[in-house]
Amino acid sequence: MSIGKRIRTIRTMRGMSSTQLAQAASVSRGLISQLELDRANPSIDTLRKIATALDSPIAAFFDEGATNGIVVRKAERKTLRIPRSGLTYQLLTPDLNRQIEFILIELGPGQGGAREPFGHPGEESALVLEGELHVWIGDEQHVLRPADTTSFNSGIPHRVQNEGETKCVLVSAITPPHF
C-alpha cells in the first residue's frame, strides 16, 4: 500500500475529513488530496506533521513486513520510501512496541531528514555505514564518515543531511521509539 493510501486509511479510521487533516497538519487540503491520490511526494517534514495530526507514528506509513516478533529478515523489513527522493527508512526492529528502535536510513545526495531541527524525548545514536553525514545537534554541526558514531539527548533539536555526492547509509537507534 502506498503512503497516500495509508494516510487516507488512517484519516478515515480517525473520522477526519481531508480538510480537518489539512488544518491539523498546517498544510493545504490540495496537498492532502494530491498525497492520497499518489500525485505528490511528501517530504519527511510533511509526513511528520501529518503523523502528528493523525496521532500516529510515522512508522504507520511503512510498508508492512512480516516478522515473527524476534527476527527481522532483510526481505521482510518494514520500509518507508519517499518516491523520487532517494530517501528510504527500514525498520530493523520487528515493531515499535519495544524500548528501543533501530532504523536503517539511506539518504541520496543532497537528501536529509527533517529540514527544520526537531527534538523528541529520549536518546539517539547513529552509526554511518557508507558515505558522509552532516549532523546538527543544537548549534553544533558534525561531519560523520564510515564507522563514525554519534550519541546524544534527542530532546535537543537536531537534523541530518547528506551533503555529499554519493549515497549515505546509517543505522539509527532511538529510545524510546519515536519514529
65 pLDDT above the threshold of 90: no
Q: Find all residues with CB under 8 Å of 168, minimum gap 6, and list them.
A: 106, 107, 128, 130, 131, 132, 133, 162
Mean pLDDT of the chain: 88
Record the pTM.
Answer: 0.74
Q: Is the dihedral of CA 126, 132, 133, 134 positive or negative?
A: positive
- Mean pLDDT along residues 109-122: 85
- Mean pLDDT along residues 34-56: 86
Dihedral (C-alpha) 45, 140, 91, 30: value to the nearest 10 degrees?
0
Pick 123 or 51 by higher pLDDT: 123
Pick 90 or 86 by higher pLDDT: 90
The pLDDT value given to residue 54: 92
Query: Residue 143: which pLDDT band, with cuts at 50, 70 and 90?
Result: very high
Query: Residue 114: which pLDDT band, with cuts at 50, 70 and 90?
Result: confident
27 pLDDT above the threshold of 70: yes
What number of CA atoms fall less than 13 Å from residue 7's CA on the CB side? 28
Cell readout for 131 is 558515505
